[in-house]
Chains A and B, each alone.
Chain A
């Protein structure tokens, strides 16, 4: 019923506007087209000016109500993020100044140079001097921005420090799997054709497989595999080795200001140094529920929006205690094959696409 009402009102509004438009056309014909055109010209010129003033106020107001909901006021949670923020703010101020200047000129000129009786235009077809000014000034400004940008870019994409904690991150529809090196300090080999979603979600090579030509890799026996929540250490560089098991995903880390695609068949890397533990961030953001979230930032299917991971940034001591508590995936798989009751990685399967709320396991 309401829908019919809304529809009726909408149509009515249309008819009214349409009739007004038609009537005003009649009036203009009767009054003299030239005269009424000049009148509406004045109205539109005034509206240009009004739009500019109201628009600038709107820009200010929008900033006022939305600024505190963004990350702009929060410190970046990683060293790289801080540099990105620096460059972002420089760019923001430069582009904002240009925005104000050019929009002002556009609407002010529109108003000021509206058609007026007896006013002659100034014939001005070209000026090399002006063209050179607005070619070279932007060129210099952009050169500064790009020099800064590329300096940081090479820093971020360069090699991670030697002492970095290495974590392998694998995306899948629709969740994240993390792998830590075991006691031997190396990642064991894996092969996607031996993936078994229940026991071996990454396809670690645990035994010989003549059909696939695989040899058991003992180094994989102590690798630790976890889902949903990744633990990393404050002030210790972390290097993520990122891959995907199915389609392209993206490890999006808004609080660290970073992201990197997860591409099947082509591993990518990303490194940074976290600056605040999760507990510290709760205080900084004044949000007791604060949590570092990994958002999938590359369209990956109908459950894309629910592909969430969690990062816990902790102290080295807390991290060591957490890791010591974990048993290698190999052991768990062997145990479960003898004892059917223990599912290995409880939270890996979040394939329930239509589910609106995902229960967080923290």
Chain B
């Protein structure tokens, strides 16, 4: 018996009616699936492209973990697959290792956790949750995706050039990134890297401006700002951060392109290249200037990655505890505080660059301030759980996992942010543990939570829950096993970005641990395919959604038909009368935003 037949034996054909009848224009394959201007399709394009990049970025981490875990073992098949440049004799080469590390970082930060996360969910949720038929400019929205796509193609191409992709770390500090003679990865690979990310900035700006315009101008009747779901608030702050900070990164890149190609000295000074035995003519530039420009984006970027996950987690936790999110206004306020502070802390990445100590002290002070809105958020999530009625849907599990990771990784931020302690643990494995937990794993968890939760809205089908549960538990355990011990290697002073530790008396004691971590990485990576298979299988073969509101949720996206067409609502866009979190109010399980306030209803805040 086929999957379909069993799963849908009790369901009448009535539910199969796809509500495409409100689309007025004729759609071809190209306009529907490729150059689509429907925000829902664009969001799926972002999601699936993001998944492809996540697999590539994750695979790269598996490859460099092979080197770290098994530095003395030869894997001949590696050379067969990757070739001599990357893995001569079955060992990852140093140039291969640094290329893998760099592309892993670049791809996951920009392509997966920025485009894949906010590209997907800002696109999908903003119009559906504020009650709009589409983005303010569907055409710009389409361009946003295609700029991202081209950026990806160029990044992919850079992996195949003769001198290898860029290999100086994802932060691309000059002079290393400016001088091809200092590192082969800084030759053609770096040109492609810069072009790719410049296009990515364009994509991000096109998207961001659209999100802001849509949220501010296209809310349905009654949807005041304080009635917006926290997801939309989070996407709004994310977009503002992107619009204000990406251009600064772009300017930094432009100067770098000039230094690389046109003989300027913005970042270069007093350089003698040993490999060519020449002193460069450049004088008077400042290598630190780039770091300021980079981190002016780089720090807000961390929150560009975090905020959408925070917003979605707030929404998912509230829906699945059947309780209002605790402290809605405080949640919005803390998002605002985090977004504002994120512009004032960039130089905490630079405490040991020799910058003015007074400046350093200001940045340390402002950095620790971020802990306050962060702790508000954590305690509000915890209070939301208190005396709730928790449904452990896969989305909910990942949302809870997000909170756990955010706590674990966030607390070490108090270590790193305090300039004095940072002197010791800066650029060690401690920072690797910190940012992978708080930004990497936590945001990926937010993304998984979002996919599991909104999959029924995206495709009109459910994902398989058993596979989702297995996926969750292995990923949660795996993530902790990988990153928790790294705090200890960091507290041994073990530097990050080392190809081999065996020559170091101070760091060689972790060989066994590195082996263990690498094995866990491989298992955890393979487990992600459970998600991938589940995702694609469920698109076509998943259990069908039979009600428009399967999670019994209050927000507007669940008032659309099961498979909404372009335009989202077949008739009028519904009007909104209340906030999105009236769960359990006056003993009623849930009251959708479209329900007018009753005469008997207790005080409405």
Contacts and interface: CB of A to CB of B under 8 A. Distances in A.
The contact size tier of chain A is 35 or more
Interface in B244-290: 268-275, 277, 279, 283-288
Contacts of B498: 304-305
B365 A146 contact: yes
Given A114-B390, A298-B173, A29 B424 contact: no
Contact of A142 (B9, B327, B360, B368): B368
Q: Which of A20, A26, A102, A154 lies at the interface centre, i.e. has the most chain B CB atoms within 10 A of its CB?
A: A102
Interface in B5-23: 6-7, 9-10
Contacts of B585: 123
A259 B185 CA distance: 27
Contacts of B424: 81, 84, 88, 254, 257-259
Given A14-B530, A91-B418, A125-B328, A146 B364 contact: yes
B7 A29 contact: yes
Given A192-B279, A260-B352, A305-B500, A69 B510 contact: yes
A81 B364 CA distance: 19
A264 B280 CA distance: 12
Contacts of B175: 246-248, 264
A245 B382 contact: no
A48 B426 contact: no
Interface stretch (B224-232, B233-241, B464-472): B464-472
Interface string A73-112: 0000000010110011001101100110011011101100
B76 to A, nearest CB: 9
B464 A172 contact: no
Contacts of A261: 352-354
B598 interface: no
Interface residues of B, number: 141
Given A21-B467, A149-B419, A71 B492 contact: yes
Given A84-B421, A138-B372, A252-B495, A301 B182 contact: yes
Contacts of B491: 70-72
A2 B492 CA distance: 36
A146 B182 contact: no
A63 B184 CA distance: 41
Interface stretch (B140-148, B190-198, B316-324, B554-562): B316-324
A162 interface: no
A119 interface: yes
Interface in B359-412: 360-361, 364-365, 368-369, 371-372, 375-376, 378-383, 385-392, 397, 400, 403-404, 407-408, 411-412
Contact of A124 (B95, B387, B501, B505): B387
A197 interface: yes
B473 A122 contact: no
A61 B400 CA distance: 24
B93 A115 contact: no
Interface string A253-292: 0110111110111111100000000000000000101110
Contacts of B587: 120
B352 A259 contact: yes
A203 B465 CA distance: 67
Interface string B578-594: 00010111110000000
A337 interface: no
A181 interface: no
Interface string A57-72: 0110011001101111
B529 interface: yes
Interface in B470-513: 470, 473, 476-477, 480, 484-485, 488-489, 491-493, 495, 497-507, 509-510, 513
A173 B164 CA distance: 19
A326 interface: no
B420 interface: yes
B300 interface: no
Given A62-B485, A290-B505, A304-B497, A87 B421 contact: yes
A239 B503 CA distance: 27
B182 A99 contact: no
B485 to A, nearest CB: 6
A95 B414 contact: yes
B414 to A, nearest CB: 6
A26 B389 CA distance: 26
Contacts of B368: 142, 145-146
A164 B501 CA distance: 33
Contacts of A243: 270
A135 B414 contact: no
B37 interface: no
Contact of A109 (B77, B277, B386): B386
B581 A99 contact: no
Contact of B485 (A66, A142, A358): A66
A29 B501 CA distance: 54
A287 B504 CA distance: 14
A250 interface: yes
A87 B392 contact: no
Contact of B372 (A58, A84, A142, A246): A142
Contact of B287 (A154, A195, A264): A264
Contacts of A51: 473, 476-477
Nearest to A142: B368
B94 A353 contact: yes
A10 B62 CA distance: 16
Contacts of A72: 491
Which 8 A-B pairs rank lowest in CB-CB distance, beginning with the nearest?
A: A254-B493, A265-B269, A268-B354, A157-B357, A44-B392, A122-B387, A305-B498, A121-B584
30 contacts: A21-B464, A21-B467, A41-B391, A58-B480, A84-B424, A91-B421, A102-B378, A102-B382, A103-B408, A113-B389, A121-B322, A125-B327, A125-B328, A125-B605, A126-B328, A130-B383, A131-B380, A146-B365, A153-B419, A157-B360, A254-B424, A260-B352, A264-B269, A264-B287, A265-B286, A293-B505, A295-B506, A302-B94, A302-B183, A305-B94
